[in-house]
Each structure stands twice: as structure tokens, then as C-alpha cells.
Amino acid sequence: MLVEERYQKILDLMKDTGSIRGVELQKKLHVSSETVRRDLENMEAQGLIRRARGGAFLKEEAEQDNSHNRYTPFGLRGQEHPDSKNEIAEFAVTFIKDGQSIALDSGTTAFALARALKNRFKDLTVVTNSMAIANELADARGITLIVTGGVYRPEESAFVSDIAGLIFSKLNIDVFFLTTCGISVERGVTYQRMDEILVQEKMMESSDQTVVIADSSKLGVNSLVKMCDVDRISRIITDSSASAEQIEPFVRAGIPVEKPQ
């Protein structure tokens, strides 16, 4: 395959979601990681794409006025603010007790929480629609794991559809740890795509408490699709770098905001 043909193939592969991972390009193009790196560097120099750690975005996607409306696959999202997500996860574990049932959605901060709670409880039930979380907790001691099933979306590493939602309609959950693309007092909890919220809504309905786990870059931010108002949120757990200006609007609205000291 000529270089120009490879470039066009890369652009074609990125059309649906606006982004792609480097490892996926290696597999689909049957080339080395060095070739992928060089191709992406050259394509970025030509103004065709914008590189990101682990992959790349289409340039028109990268230059949208509100980048929080751009859909980013699970693999790339996991590389955004990893230290903040791990800090949130370690802190969020302290709000979980043995004997509880918790729900984790398919967000990357929820995945960080799954890693943090692994082998730290004697009796904990975890319900999730995330394949990544299911794989992480499959052999964890002291955890009863319930996976929803449904239609699997590899770019999200998640099960979606009415099948996944039906499972939650039959369960009683103590705490739902909800991830989000943005949360503000004015617009509530928001996401990049409509289909992202379908299972989360069922999770929320089946739970006594809903705790948003979101790094400080999501606070005060509005994404494209609204899921709910903030008055349905029990509390927000964020990272230690969240500023008083970011936290204050939620506190005034009666939503507790917790962060590590």
C-alpha cells in the first residue's frame, strides 16, 4: 500500500467516531508502531489530523469550539487525566462499605475505581455494563460481580441497549458511581452522545444514592446531551486540584462536593 493510500485509509477509519487508537491502526493496516507514528506525524504536519497520546483525532473534530462535545473512545479517554482519575478512585473507595451493592458505569473513572476497590472488600456486590470492569474484577476476592449483557460496543468497552437497562430495573443498588463528560448547576449532568445515557438512567433509577465521580476538568462544563439535573445527585467526588470557584456553585445548590485533602 502506498503512503498516500495509507493516509486515506486512516482518514476513512476515523470518519465514524472522529478518532482512532494507534494499536488499532497497526492491526488494520498491518504495519509497525513506528510506521503508524510516522504516518500520524506527517498527517498532522499536513493539517489532516491532530495527534493525541495513544492515537489521533480528525482535525475538524479537534477544532470544534466545544471539545467536550467530541466523542472519544474508551481507550483514548483512559489516557486523559490518569493521575486525577486514580486519585478520585482511591478517595471514592473510602465511601464504600462491606455488604453494599454498587453500580459502576462504563466510564474510565469508574474503571479506575474498579481497580482501586479490587481485593479490598470481603462482601461487595458490583453491577456494571462495562466489559473492561468485568475483566478487571473477574477474579477479585470478596466481590460478587453482575454484568448486564446487552449489545456490546467495543469503542466504549460497554454493553448498551434495553437489555442492559432491563437488568438494572430488577435490582436494588445502594450507590451508583456515575461518570460524566460534564456537570454544571445550570445544565446538569451531560454527555457527548444520546445513547450513552440510556443505561445510566436505569442505573440511577435503581439506586438509593448517585455519586458523580469526575475530575476537575468536568466541573462547570456542559456537553451535548443532558441526562438529569444536579438535584438528582447525592454528592460529587472530584480531585484535589478542583478550585473553590468550581466547587462553590454546587455547594450553593445543595450538592456536597468531596475531594482529597
Residue-level pLDDT at 63: 47
Domain hosting residue 195, numbered range: 74-258
Question: Do 59 and 113 share a domain, yes or no?
Answer: no
**157 within a domain of the structure (yes/no):** yes
Instruction: Report whether 126 contacts 145 (CB < 8 A).
Output: yes
Last residue of a domain, one of 31, 64, 97: 64
The percent helix, strand, coil of the chain (3-state, each to 5) is 40, 25, 35
Question: Do 49 and 82 share a domain, yes or no?
Answer: no
Cα distances (angstroms) measured from residue 29 to each of 1, 54, 77: 9, 16, 23
Question: Do 11 and 103 share a domain, yes or no?
Answer: no
CATH code for position 48:
1.10.10.10
**69 within a domain of the structure (yes/no):** no
Give the span between the Cα atoms of 203 and 176, in whole angstroms: 7
Residue-level pLDDT at 69: 47
Residue 112 grid cell: 479506575
**209 within a domain of the structure (yes/no):** yes
Question: Do 95 and 35 share a domain, yes or no?
Answer: no
Give the span between the Cα atoms of 18 and 71, in whole angstroms: 7
Give the span between the Cα atoms of 14 and 61, in whole angstroms: 10
Question: Do 32 and 105 share a domain, yes or no?
Answer: no
Question: Do 51 and 81 share a domain, yes or no?
Answer: no
**21 within a domain of the structure (yes/no):** yes
Instruction: Report whether 166 contacts 151 (CB < 8 A).
Output: no
Q: How far, rounded to the nearest angstrom, does the alpha carbon of residue 163 sit from its chain's CA centroid?
A: 20
**22 within a domain of the structure (yes/no):** yes
What pTM was computed for the model?
A: 0.72
Question: Do 58 and 78 share a domain, yes or no?
Answer: no
3-state DSSP assignment of residue 148: coil
Cα distances (angstroms) measured from residue 168 to each of 68, 141, 171, 211: 28, 23, 5, 17
Residues 212-223 have pLDDT tens digits of 999 998 999 988
Edge-to-edge strand list for the sheet holding 49-52: 19-21, 55-58, 49-52
Last residue of a domain, one of 17, 37, 64: 64
Question: Do 20 and 120 share a domain, yes or no?
Answer: no
Question: Do 20 and 80 share a domain, yes or no?
Answer: no
CB count in 10 Å sphere of residue 27: 9
CATH code for position 182:
3.40.50.1360
Domain count for the chain? 2
**230 within a domain of the structure (yes/no):** yes
Which residue numbers in the chain have pLDDT < 50?
A: 61-69
Question: Do 86 and 131 share a domain, yes or no?
Answer: yes
Residue 133 grid cell: 470492569
Question: Do 113 and 180 share a domain, yes or no?
Answer: yes
Last residue of a domain, one of 33, 64, 95: 64
Instruction: Report whether 212 contacts 93 (CB < 8 A).
Output: no
Question: Do 177 and 230 share a domain, yes or no?
Answer: yes
